[in-house]
Each structure stands twice: as structure tokens, then as C-alpha cells.
């Protein structure tokens, strides 16, 4: 260690992450450790594709948690010497990004329509160039060891090529088709969205009952609806075929109030005879159920609500009104005509757009769809055969249930920002061309071609992320070396939206599942248990946490609080991480500033050395196993407990005298232990461990590429563990005894030993001067703690000692009674495993003998 380094270590009594992290990160980048050569096979390599954040996004707690988990495994495998690639990139996020830029435009008093498509898209690109790298920089703050030199974007030239190839192939297979169909229309983004982007919310509406007169009769059929304005698009009335009340009406017609259209009365079992009067108005153009019924009965499909959420020309005198205005107007008109029979409050669930938050307007429109059944089959089989392992296991069933019920996917979006659908139409002869590149002219008539206006759903391009980022469809070295990837971590909310689709496309295109494991992690909620969300104002900014506590602290905290169930964000866990970083720093100072100049090596001379080495190796085995099984919370908490309790509280305190004497054996052992602890913790706390490592005399290169420790079972030592644990137990009992007997903290009490001698450290750490029992002479002990007989002294308050003895006696009485009762139970003795009974007997013996000592 240089003089400067020594001075810095001596002077810096607290770890300051802010002074370390940026410097250390740039060293890693300069080292090129995160940029592997495209060599080797996927089996021997390790690769992960990051869930691509939106280019519009800022790092939120979900990214931070997800990133901490991925980085832990990525770093561990890199340290194991595997060629490791963590693919980084961003998602163009069609709706979100377009919305952001449109908002900017509006602030300037302009619209995208005024600008025109080309100029608008140009403008979004400029926005992306300026702000799109923000989230990438934020991942660096977290310490994420992604390959920043291979950053990808879903609208990269190469990526677009992959998207078009996929579209074309699915079209050629007949999976992709265009159809007039019922879609979820989002008036907010003025686009169709998929079923998965819709969320249902409970809403209080009014339920209106409306009389529809039966043609050529005095009778009326009363229908109930929460959306009276859609009656303008009614094309039938349905009753249940079993419903005798209306049986004679089937085949006749109703007259639609306000409009006058003749509506056939049809029979359909979908109608619940128990609900209302048992008659259902059928609006195939604006209700998903009615759409199904309409197609079944060949009913006319009328659309009265347009893409802007306003009534169309089809709505006659109501044209131009918004849906809400139209509802009031229709209700008023019905009331005037005496057709409104009832209006009552009604709570039901209503679809809302997950993108814009607006209420979904179901309507029929011309869209592109992808049939999913065929793609789903092999993806179901892959999960069933555990070729893709979904952990925790309960999510496998959720995945399978959804896949088995999978429905066609509406892939077209009425946006400008995205992959423009690679379809060209000839207006002259109505030919359609699907191609990866624009055809020159119509092959049939030579006419001009016009490209489809719509773009693809953002998730269509994310669905091919793991292989499109590696250069597919070209057989690139990257694809050969790193596909399939090793695992995926994800929040469950995108299990269907993203994960399932990647599995389907992975099998269909490169021909292999895209990752071996899918780890579905928990959700970190706000401190009060609500969702963290920008709109609720409940979000906690990970960057601010990093500013205050450091990236290591946040990473530790997130991993420690994560588990299989959702948890509230815990400031205490982040603080625990911060405390741990500081403790690592200080414990390392103690070692590094005091050791002799020796090579690190396990050189045990005392039982506590063997104990420490045994505990270290066991911890390495256990923590490693937990990381490999995605049990991050227990992994980091176990590492914490080992380091803090075993290493700092006990081992360092025990060996301090030897360390201060510069004993070579303990110096070598301590350097060895420190090296392994730093390496073990590096995947979860990379900055502080790398920084400390820079002071370690054995350092040859960065810790980021230092070998990850492999547990040496040869150092496991049960006997040493038992002996030292007993010594620790005795030390604690002696300290407790002192405390409760009101002994001054600093005083050293005299004692003699009677029985098996404990490890040497006990007397020093408990502040007892323990001599071997001398035959005969000497004062009578005032108390016994295990084999230690406490001798009288000026620092001992007789009354306090007596009180302490009495308290201990009561404790032992209770224990003896409990054990006796248990052993008196014949069922226990007969049926419990022998070792359990034996253990109980041993305890009883111990308690009785201690009680005897006290009396």
C-alpha cells in the first residue's frame, strides 16, 4: 500500500459512496469488463436481456429492484469466468413517447396533424436523441454492469429488419390477417389497444330501462342499459330461447325509439332471463358481447361513435356530441317520448385504457390481428416440460391458464411513432403486398402503392427482444454465442404482455426458448402500502436514494426487502445497507492498517481461526446457493449476519491482540477472509467492495473480474464451531450477569474456573480475570456462571448479586418444569424421534446441574 493510500485509509473513518461510485464505475468501463467478445456457446456463456425501459422513462424503483437482481447474478457469473453479456437497450414505447412529444407540441400551440407525419416522426427522433439516453445513464448510477457498447433500440435499423421479417413470416403462415372486428378503442391515444392494455375499474353508473315497442302490437320489450347512447346503433333485441314470456315474439320486430329502425327479435342463450325483463338490446358495433351475438345471427353492424369519441353522421341529430353529451341528450329525448321506464344507480366494472387512463370505447374497426393459438402450443409445452422454468412455481400455472385461453392479438395501432406496418396497397387494383422492403410498384397493374398508415403495437417488437438485440435474423456471432439467454427477471404484470410472447416468438423464430428461467419478483409498494405510481404521487425516486445512501445501500436494501410476496418500501433496509457499507469499510481499515506483510492464506492456529474459516466457507456455500435460486433477500441477509456478527462482533474482537502484535498467521488469515468476503459481496454491493479491494495487498486487478469464491468444504469444522459457539454463549452469559448485577462497565472481576475450560477469549471479552481453581485456599465464590466462579470484589454489590441469582434460579425452575413435563408425556417419549427426546433429556440434565450449582 502506498503512503497516500495508507493516509487515506487512516483518515477516512466513514465510507462516502458519493466520492467513490462515479470513479469506480468509469474504471470498470475502461476495463472493458462489461463488453464480452462474441465467443463460445450459450451453454458455457452467461447472458441476460434487460427488460427494455421506455425511452421516455426515468429509473423507477421497479427498474432498480429488477436491475439489482440481474446485476447480482450477472456479476457473480462474470466473476466465475464465464463470458458474460448483459444486453441493454430501450423501447420506443409508441403511445407513451408519442404522447410526450404531442404534449410539447400542444405547448407550442401546434398539433401533430399540422406538422404532418414525416416531420412529426422526425421530431420524435430528435426528442429521443436528446432525452433517450437519460435512463441508460441512470442504470449506470445503479452500478448495472450492462454492455453499454452494445446498446440497442427497438427502432434501430437492424431491429426494424427483424420486426419486418417476423411480420412477413407470420403473415405468410396465415397467422396475421386484417379484419373488421370489435376492438378496445382508446379515445385518449386515438388508437386501438390490446386486451392486455385494458384494466377494469368499478364505476357507478346509471342503469336505464327503455321501452322498445313491438311492431304491430301494443306490447313493449323493456331493455336495460348503462349506455343508452349506443341504442342509436342497435340492430336487434335478444331474449333467452327458454324464456316463455317472450317466446312468441322471436322472429317479430321492435321499433327502435328515436330512430325508428326495425329491429329483429332474436333468441340467444347468452341473455340472462333473470336480469331485468329478460330482453337485451343488441348493439354489435359497440359492445363486445353484442358483437359476438351479432356475428352469430348475421346482424347488421352500425358504428355511431367515431375514433374521436364523438357521435358520427350515423347518429343523425346526435352527430358531433361526445358520448357523454349524447347520453344526456338521448335520455332526455327518451323521457320526452315516454320511453324511459326507469333510471337507477348501478355499480359495475368498466374497461379503461392502461395507456391514457380514458374509458375504453368498444367499437368495430378495421385492424391487423395475429392469431395466437398455433404459436401458443409449443410455448405451453416448453413450460410444461420445464424448458422454461417459471419461478416461483405458482406463476407457471397462471401462465399456462392464460396461454390455453389465448385470443387473437390486435397488433395495429393508429399512431405515427413505431414500426409502420410493412403492408402496401394498390388503390388501382386493390392488391395487397406484405414485404420486408417497399415494393416499387404494383406487380399486377403497375399502379402506385400506398403503405399502411398504422404502426405495430410496441409489444410486437418487444416480443422479439432477446434475439433481435443479438442481430437476428442474421446469424451473427452474438446470436451464436449468447442465445438463448440464461434467465429473465420480471414483474408479474408483464408476464402475458411480454414474457409469454417472447417465449412464443423465441420458439417460432430462432427455434429455442429465449431463456431458461423466468424469475417473477415481488412488487415494492409505497411506504403506506399503496402502489408506487407517478400519478398517485407515491413514487420513491431511486436516484435520490442513491444520492443520499449510495447505490450499494439501495441495492442491498431492495434485495433485502424483496421476497416472494409484495412488500412496502423500507427505509430501514436501505439504511441497513448503508450501515453495512460503512461497517465493511471500517472493518477493512482495521485489518488492512494492522496486518503484517504476508500473502493471504488460511493459516489457523487457534480454535477461533478454524471456527472463522468454517463459518466463512459455510456462508459462501449458503449465500451462493441462495443467489442461484433467486432467493436474494435471504442471501444478502445471511451475508450481513455472517459479516456483522461472526466476523466483526466476534472474530475481529477475539483476534485484535494478535493483530496488533502483527502476528503473521492471523494476518494471513484475515487477509484471506477479507478477500473472500469482498468477492462474495461484490455482486450485491459492487462499489464499496471494489473500493476496499483497491487497498488490499493481494490485488492484481479489479474485483469485478476477480474469481468468485467457491466454498472449500475441507475447512468446515464442526468441533471448532461447537467450541467457539459455546465460548460465545458463555461470554454473553457473563456479560449479562455483570449487567444485571450492576457491575461497573469498566471493572475486571476476579474469578476461578471449575470445570471444562472455555476458549481463552471469554475472560477478556467478558472482562473477567479467570484463574484456574486453586486447591483449597481462596475466598468463597459469590456466584457461578457455567464453569466460572465469580469471586468477591469491591465492585460487586451483594444485594444485586443476590437478586441476579434469584432471577436465574426462577428461570431454571421454569425450564426444568417445562422439560420434565414434556418428558413425562408418554406419547412424546414413545412417538417423537429418538434424537428429539434425547436432546430434551440432555437439556434437563444441564438445567438441573446449573440449578444445583446455584443453591
Partner RNA sequence: GGGCGCGUAGCUCAGUGGGAGAGCGCUCGCUUCACACGCGAGAGGUCGCUGGUUCGAAACCAGCCGCGCCCACCA
In the region spanning residues 519 to 548, those forming contacts with RNA, defined by CB under 7 A, are 525, 529, 531
Q: Kindly state the smallest distance separating residue 148's Cβ from RNA, in Å.
A: 30
Among 436, 452, 653, 853, binds RNA (CB under 7 A): 653
Angle at 660 between CA 655 and CA 665, to 5 degrees: 60
- Candidates 431-439, 598-606, 773-781, 822-830; binding stretch for RNA (CB under 7 A): 822-830
Other Cβ atoms less than 10 A from the Cβ of 673: the count is 22
Other Cβ atoms less than 10 A from the Cβ of 327: the count is 20
The secondary structure of residue 531, as a DSSP letter, is: P
Q: Which of residues 4-43 bind RNA (CB under 7 A)?
A: 13-15
Q: Kindly state the smallest distance separating residue 39's Cβ from RNA, in Å.
A: 40
Site mask for RNA (CB under 7 A), range 225-244, x = bound = xxx-----------------
In angstroms, the CA 821 to CA 819 distance is 5
Q: Kindly state the smallest distance separating residue 526's Cβ from RNA, in Å.
A: 10
SS (H, E, C) 205-239: EEEEEEEEEECCCCCEEEEEECCHHHHHHCCEEEE
Collapsing DSSP states into helix, strand and coil, what is residue 343?
strand
Q: Kindly state the smallest distance separating residue 519's Cβ from RNA, in Å.
A: 15
Among 339, 420, 573, 696, binds RNA (CB under 7 A): 573
- Is 745 a binder of RNA (CB under 7 A)? yes
- Is 297 a binder of RNA (CB under 7 A)? no
- State the burial class of residue 307 (Cβ atoms within 10 Å of its Cβ: 0-12, 13-18, 19+): middle
In angstroms, the CA 192 to CA 181 distance is 11
- Is 345 a binder of RNA (CB under 7 A)? no
Q: Kindly state the smallest distance separating residue 490's Cβ from RNA, in Å.
A: 13
Q: Kindly state the smallest distance separating residue 315's Cβ from RNA, in Å.
A: 18
Residue (468 or 671) nearer to RNA, CB: 671
- Candidates 123-131, 275-283, 443-451, 684-692; binding stretch for RNA (CB under 7 A): 275-283
Q: Kindly state the smallest distance separating residue 555's Cβ from RNA, in Å.
A: 15
Our measurement of the distance from residue 66's CA atom to the centroid of its chain's CA atoms, rounded to an integer in Å, reads: 5
Site mask for RNA (CB under 7 A), range 254-273, x = bound = ----------------xxxx
Residue (281 or 618) nearer to RNA, CB: 281
Q: Which of residues 79-138 bind RNA (CB under 7 A)?
A: none
Q: Which of residues 656-715 bind RNA (CB under 7 A)?
A: 656
> What H or E segment, with its residue span, contains residue 18?
helix 17-31
- Candidates 441-449, 674-682, 777-785, 823-831; binding stretch for RNA (CB under 7 A): 823-831
Residue (109 or 393) nearer to RNA, CB: 393
Q: Kindly state the smallest distance separating residue 664's Cβ from RNA, in Å.
A: 19
Among 275, 443, 755, 810, binds RNA (CB under 7 A): 275
- Is 288 a binder of RNA (CB under 7 A)? yes
Residue (132 or 284) nearer to RNA, CB: 284
Q: Kindly state the smallest distance separating residue 346's Cβ from RNA, in Å.
A: 8
Residue (207 or 259) nearer to RNA, CB: 207
Among 586, 622, 694, 793, binds RNA (CB under 7 A): 586
Our measurement of the distance from residue 324's CA atom to the centroid of its chain's CA atoms, rounded to an integer in Å, reads: 39
Q: Kindly state the smallest distance separating residue 113's Cβ from RNA, in Å.
A: 33
Q: Kindly state the smallest distance separating residue 278's Cβ from RNA, in Å.
A: 6
Q: Kindly state the smallest distance separating residue 676's Cβ from RNA, in Å.
A: 17
In angstroms, the CA 191 to CA 800 distance is 80
- Candidates 123-131, 428-436, 682-690, 732-740; binding stretch for RNA (CB under 7 A): 732-740
In angstroms, the CA 523 to CA 835 distance is 42
In angstroms, the CA 678 to CA 686 distance is 9
- Candidates 18-26, 329-337, 477-485, 571-579; binding stretch for RNA (CB under 7 A): 571-579
Residue (223 or 554) nearer to RNA, CB: 223
Q: Which of residues 788-817 bind RNA (CB under 7 A)?
A: 814-815
- Is 284 a binder of RNA (CB under 7 A)? no
> What H or E segment, with its residue span, contains residue 845?
helix 834-854
Yes or no: say if 704 and 75 are a contact pair by the CB < 8 Å rule. yes
Among 565, 714, 775, 780, binds RNA (CB under 7 A): 565
Peptide bond into 484 cis (omega under 30): yes
Residue (14 or 103) nearer to RNA, CB: 14
Residue (215 or 815) nearer to RNA, CB: 815
Q: Which of residues 472-511 bind RNA (CB under 7 A)?
A: 492-493, 496
Residue (154 or 240) nearer to RNA, CB: 240
Name which of 578, 555, 516, 621 is nearest 75 in CA terms: 555
Residue (289 or 451) nearer to RNA, CB: 289
Among 746, 777, 794, 824, binds RNA (CB under 7 A): 746
Residue (287 or 691) nearer to RNA, CB: 287
Collapsing DSSP states into helix, strand and coil, what is residue 252?
coil
Residue (80 or 764) nearer to RNA, CB: 764
In angstroms, the CA 451 to CA 437 distance is 11
Residue (470 or 635) nearer to RNA, CB: 635
Q: Which of residues 424-463 bind RNA (CB under 7 A)?
A: none
In angstroms, the CA 185 to CA 305 distance is 10
Q: Which of residues 835-854 bind RNA (CB under 7 A)?
A: 836, 843
Q: Kindly state the smallest distance separating residue 101's Cβ from RNA, in Å.
A: 28
Q: Which of residues 587-646 bind RNA (CB under 7 A)?
A: 587, 589-590, 633-634, 637, 641, 644
Read out DSSP for 487-504? Answer: EEEEEGGGIIIIIIHHHH
Binding residue count for RNA, defined by CB under 7 A: 91
Collapsing DSSP states into helix, strand and coil, what is residue 639?
helix
Residue tagged 465493511 (cell numbers)? 584
- Candidates 92-100, 138-146, 573-581, 711-719; binding stretch for RNA (CB under 7 A): 573-581
Among 398, 428, 698, 773, binds RNA (CB under 7 A): 398
Among 337, 453, 739, 852, binds RNA (CB under 7 A): 739
Beta-bridged to residue 206, according to DSSP, are 345
Our measurement of the distance from residue 384's CA atom to the centroid of its chain's CA atoms, rounded to an integer in Å, reads: 23
Q: Where are the beta strands (DSSP E) in 278-422?
A: 279-282, 340-353, 361-370, 389-391, 409-410, 412-413
Q: Kindly state the smallest distance separating residue 288's Cβ from RNA, in Å.
A: 5
Q: Which of residues 174-213 bind RNA (CB under 7 A)?
A: 195-196, 199-200
Q: Which of residues 305-334 bind RNA (CB under 7 A)?
A: none
Name which of 698, 853, 706 is nearest 788 in CA terms: 853
**HSE toward the beta carbon, residue 380, CA cutoff 13 A:** 15
- C-alpha cell recorded at residue 98: 408519442
DSSP H helices, 530-606, are 542-549, 551-561, 571-594
Residues 6+ apart with CB under 8 A from 457: 94, 193, 194, 409, 410, 411, 412, 413
In angstroms, the CA 467 to CA 34 distance is 19
Largest CA distance in the chain: 125
In angstroms, the CA 714 to CA 834 distance is 30
Residues 6+ apart with CB under 8 A from 576: 556, 557, 560, 640
SS (H, E, C) 133-177: CHHHHHHHHHCCCCEEEEEEECCCHHHHHHHHHHHHHHHHCCCEE
Amino acid at each position: 500500500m502506498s503512503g497516500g493510500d495508507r493516509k487515506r485509509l487512516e483518515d477516512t473513518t466513514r465510507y462516502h459512496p458519493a466520492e467513490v461510485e462515479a470513479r469506480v464505475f468509469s474504471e470498470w468501463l475502461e476495463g472493458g469488463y462489461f463488453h464480452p467478445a462474441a465467443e463460445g456457446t450459450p451453454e458455457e456463456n452467461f447472458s441476460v436481456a434487460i427488460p427494455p425501459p421506455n425511452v421516455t422513462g426515468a429509473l423507477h424503483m421497479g427498474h432498480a429492484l429488477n436491475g439489482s437482481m440481474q446485476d447480482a447474478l450477472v456479476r457473480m457469473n462474470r466473476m466465475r469466468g464465464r463470458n458474460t453479456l448483459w444486453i441493454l437497450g430501450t423501447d420506443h414505447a409508441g403511445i407513451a413517447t408519442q404522447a410526450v412529444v404531442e404534449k410539447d407540441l400542444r405547448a407550442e400551440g401546434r398539433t401533430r396533424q399540422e406538422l404532418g407525419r414525416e416531420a412529426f416522426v422526425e421530431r420524435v427522433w430528435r426528442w429521443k436523441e436528446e432525452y433517450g439516453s437519460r435512463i441508460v445513464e441512470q442504470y449506470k448510477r445503479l452500478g448495472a454492469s450492462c454492455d453499454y457498447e452494445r446498446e440497442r433500440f427497438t427502432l434501430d435499423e437492424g431491429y426494424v429488419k427483424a420486426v419486418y421479417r417476423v411480420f412477413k413470416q407470420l403473415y405468410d403462415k396465415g397467422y396475421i390477417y386484417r379484419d373488421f372486428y370489435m376492438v378496445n378503442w382508446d379515445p385518449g391515444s386515438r388508437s386501438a389497444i390490446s386486451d392486455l392494455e385494458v384494466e377494469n375499474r368499478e364505476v357507478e353508473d346509471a342503469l336505464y330501462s327503455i321501452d322498445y315497442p313491438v311492431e304491430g302490437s301494443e306490447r313493449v320489450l323493456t331493455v336495460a342499459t348503462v349506455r343508452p347512447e349506443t341504442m342509436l346503433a342497435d340492430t336487434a333485441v335478444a331474449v333467452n330461447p327458454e324464456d316463455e314470456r317472450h317466446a312468441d315474439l322471436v322472429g317479430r320486430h321492435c321499433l327502435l325509439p328515436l330512430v325508428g329502425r326495425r329491429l329483429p327479435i332474436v333468441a340467444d342463450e347468452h341473455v340472462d332471463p333473470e336480469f331485468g325483463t329478460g330482453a337485451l338490446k343488441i348493439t354489435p358495433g359497440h359492445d363486445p358481447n353484442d358483437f359476438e351475438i351479432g356475428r352469430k345471427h348475421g346482424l347488421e353492424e352500425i358504428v355511431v361513435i367515431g375514433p374521436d369519441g364523438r357521435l358520427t353522421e350515423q347518429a343523425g341529430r346526435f352527430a358531433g356530441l361526445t358520448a357523454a353529451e349524447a347520453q344526456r341528450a338521448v335520455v332526455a329525448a327518451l323521457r320526452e317520448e315516454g320511453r324511459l321506464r326507469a333510471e337507477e344507480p348501478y355499480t359495475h366494472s368498466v374497461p379503461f385504457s392502461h395507456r391514457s387512463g380514458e374509458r375504453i370505447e368498444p367499437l368495430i374497426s378495421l385492424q391487423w390481428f395475429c392469431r395466437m393459438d398455433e404459436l401458443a402450443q409449443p410455448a405451453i409445452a416448453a413450460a410444461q416440460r420445464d424448458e422454461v422454468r417459471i419461478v416461483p412455481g405458482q406463476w407457471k400455472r397462471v401462465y399456462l391458464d392464460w396461454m390455453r385461453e389465448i385470443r387473437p392479438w390486435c397488433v395495429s395501432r393508429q399512431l405515427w411513432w413505431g414500426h409502420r406496418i410493412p403492408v402496401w396497397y394498390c388503390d388501382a387494383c386493390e392488391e395487397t403486398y406484405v414485404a420486408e422492403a417497399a415494393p416499387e410498384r404494383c406487380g399486377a397493374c403497375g399502379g402506385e402503392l400506398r403503405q399502411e398508415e398504422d404502426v405495430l403495437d410496441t409489444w410486437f417488437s418487444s416480443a422479439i427482444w432477446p434475439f433481435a438485440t443479438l442481430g437476428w435474423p442474421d446469424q451473427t456471432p452474438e446470436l451464436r454465442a449468447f442465445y438463448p439467454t440464461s434467465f429473465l427477471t420480471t414483474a408479474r404484470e408483464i408476464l402475458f404482455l411480454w414474457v409469454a410472447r417472447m417465449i412464443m416468438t423465441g420458439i417460432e423464430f430462432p427455434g429455442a426458448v429465449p431463456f431458461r428461467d423466468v424469475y417473477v419478483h415481488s412488487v415494492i409498494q409505497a411506504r403506506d402500502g399503496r402502489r408506487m405510481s407517478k400519478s398517485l404521487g407515491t413514487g420513491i425516486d431511486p436516484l435520490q436514494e442513491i444520492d443520499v445512501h449510495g447505490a450499494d445501500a439501495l441495492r442491498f436494501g431492495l434485495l433485502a426487502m424483496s421476497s416472494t410476496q409484495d412488500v412496502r418500501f423500507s427505509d430501514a433496509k436501505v439504511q441497513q445497507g448503508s450501515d453495512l457499507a460503512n461497517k465493511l469499510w471500517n472493518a477493512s481499515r482495521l485489518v488492512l492498517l494492522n496486518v503484517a506483510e504476508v500473502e493471504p492464506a488460511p493459516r489457523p492456529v487457534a480454535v477461533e481461526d478454524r471456527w472463522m474459516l468454517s463459518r466463512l466457507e459455510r456462508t459462501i456455500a449458503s449465500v451462493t446457493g441462495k443467489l442461484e435460486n433467486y432467493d436474494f433477500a435471504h442471501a444478502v441477509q445471511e451475508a450481513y449476519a455472517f459479516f456483522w456478527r461472526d466476523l466483526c462482533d466476534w472474530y475481529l474482537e477475539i483476534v485484535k491482540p494478535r493483530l496488533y502484535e502483527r502476528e503473521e498467521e492471523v494476518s494471513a488469515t484475515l487477509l484471506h477472509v477479507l478477500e473472500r468476503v469482498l468477492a462474495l459481496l461484490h455482486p450485491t454491493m459492487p462499489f464499496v467492495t471494489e473500493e476496499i479491494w483497491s487497498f488490499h495487498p493481494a490485488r492484481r486487478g479489479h474485483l469485478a473480474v476477480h474469481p468468485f469464491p467457491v466454498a472449500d468444504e475441507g475447512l468446515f469444522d464442526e468441533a471448532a464451531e461447537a467450541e467457539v459457539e459455546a465460548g460465545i454463549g458463555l461470554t454473553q452469559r457473563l456479560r449479562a450477569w455483570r449487567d444485571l448485577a450492576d457491575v461497573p462497565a469498566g471493572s475486571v472481576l476476579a474469578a476461578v474456573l471449575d470445570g471444562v475450560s472455555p476458549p481463552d477469549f471469554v475472560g477478556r471479552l467478558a472482562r473477567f480475570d479467570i484463574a484456574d481453581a486453586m486447591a483449597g485456599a481462596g475466598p468463597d465464590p459469590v456466584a457461578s456462571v457455567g464453569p466460572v466462579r465469580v469471586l468477591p470484589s469491591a465492585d460487586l454489590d451483594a444485594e444485586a448479586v443476590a437478586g441476579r441469582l434469584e432471577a436465574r434460579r426462577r428461570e431454571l425452575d421454569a425450564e426444568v418444569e417445562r422439560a420434565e413435563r414434556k418428558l413425562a408425556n408418554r406419547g412424546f417419549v414413545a412417538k417423537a424421534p429418538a434424537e428429539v427426546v434425547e436432546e430434551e433429556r440432555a437439556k434437563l440434565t444441564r438445567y438441573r446441574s446449573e440449578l444445583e450449582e446455584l443453591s
